[in-house]
Amino acid sequence: MDESHIDGDYVHSPAILNDEIYCQEVDNEDLDTDSFKYADRSVTRLIQTRNKRFLVVEGGKLKFMMRTKMQCRNEDSQFKICTYMNTEIPPATPPGMPAILMVSNNGREWIICTNEVEKSVYPKLQDQPLPKHIDGSSHEALFFLQSMKERKNWYRFESSQWPGWFLAFETEEGGTTKLILKKSDCDVIDRGFQLVNCP
């Protein structure tokens, strides 16, 4: 795998234990993936930008909105981070923790996906259970969760389908902030998000 999208000599690879996210430093040598198995571990978090807006799914669209503490209890902003494990034996070190982001709205579940033709992101209705096994090194809904250096509880999500491209936010004219994919070669804040415990 091309190492140009990984900052420095290491990445922080998160792991989930007792409903908390922990980070460990791993060397980025020989980063590779084979296939993934559902780890059956997850945490639920709010995804927040630096300007205090929260990611929500509304009307089948992803957007960032201001939320009160009471509104943050709504299911449309509580993202379940469902983790996977690399099945390669012996396991190579993935560039972060493989995960799928899932959220509910009006009793229906959605996952965040990337477009296989163009570098964009969209919510996809998930009518079936999440796949127990993912063949290959990429999937439209699989991201690598990486801890941002020296920023507690800040993370970035690298697309497995588009290596070197990360979930990011962009504010349009009129003030609307949307979720996008953005290429990154540095650990900058607009390509990262704070994961906040649900109230």
Question: How does pLDDT run across 86-125, given as a tens digit for each residue?
Answer: 876 555 545 788 999 999 998 899 999 999 899 999 999 9
Residue 33: inside a domain: yes
Residue 38: inside a domain: yes
Residue 132: inside a domain: yes
Q: What angle do CA 109, 125, 43 make, to 5 degrees?
A: 40
CA gap 83, 125 in Å, rounded: 19
For residue 133, what are the domain limits? Answer: 10-197
Do the beta carbons of residue 198 and residue 42 sit within 8 Å?
no
Residue 168: inside a domain: yes
Output the pTM of the full model.
0.81
Per-residue DSSP letter, 116: S
Question: How does pLDDT run across 59-86, given as a tens digit for each residue?
Answer: 889 999 999 999 999 999 999 999 998 8
Do the beta carbons of residue 56 and residue 63 sit within 8 Å?
yes
CATH number at residue 135: 2.80.10.50
**What pLDDT was estimated at residue 14?**
54
Question: How does pLDDT run across 15-28, given as a tens digit for each residue?
Answer: 555 555 555 544 44
